Copies of this chain bind each other. A is one copy, B any other.
C-alpha cells in the first residue's frame, strides 16, 4: 500500500559534493552542497544548488568558477564540517587541515586531499526558488594517480566515496558491486 508523505526532497542516494571557491579577498573556502549532479554530457556540465545566504554564493557569482571535490570515507567529518559552519566566520581549509590548491585554469581552488576534483567554469545561473542552480562546464578533472583504475579513470572501490541520505540524515558508504550497466537488452 502506498502512503503519501507530501512534498519531500528525497531520492535516498545523494552524492556528497564539496564546492571549492575563493572569496573576494582571495581566501579559499569549501561548502558541502546537498543538491547537485551531472546535468549534461556535451559540453560536460555539473549542477549545484546554493542558497543566496551561503558564503559560497557570492564567491561563485564573483569569480564565475568553482570546483567540485569528492571526499573519501575517511574525510566524512571534514566534509560534514564544511556544510555546518560558514566561511564568513571560519577559515574552513585551515580549521580542517585540508590544503587548497589554485586550479590555475579558473579562479577556484581544489582540495588536494580529495582524490577527484572537477574544475568548473560557470556557464548558467537559474533561479529556482530558495536555491539558485549554478551550472558549471567541467573544463578538466584531476585525479590522484594512486586511485586510477586500469581504464585510466578513478576507481570507486579504492576511493570509497560516500552518499548522503536526506531521509535519515545519515552518511552511508558504498557497498558491493552489483552488475555492469547498459547490458540488459532482454529482461526475460
Contacts and interface: CB of A to CB of B under 8 A. Distances in A.
6 shortest interchain CB distances as A-B pairs: A37-B37, A173-B175, A175-B175, A40-B128, A153-B167, A80-B184
28 contacts: A2-B117, A2-B143, A3-B143, A5-B142, A6-B141, A10-B116, A11-B15, A11-B118, A13-B15, A13-B16, A13-B156, A13-B161, A13-B163, A34-B38, A35-B37, A38-B166, A39-B131, A41-B130, A42-B129, A78-B184, A80-B183, A95-B188, A124-B126, A153-B168, A164-B181, A171-B180, A173-B175, A173-B176
A145 interface: yes
Contact of A141 (B4, B144, B186, B188): B4
A143 B45 CA distance: 31
Given A159-B12, A167-B153, A139 B182 contact: no
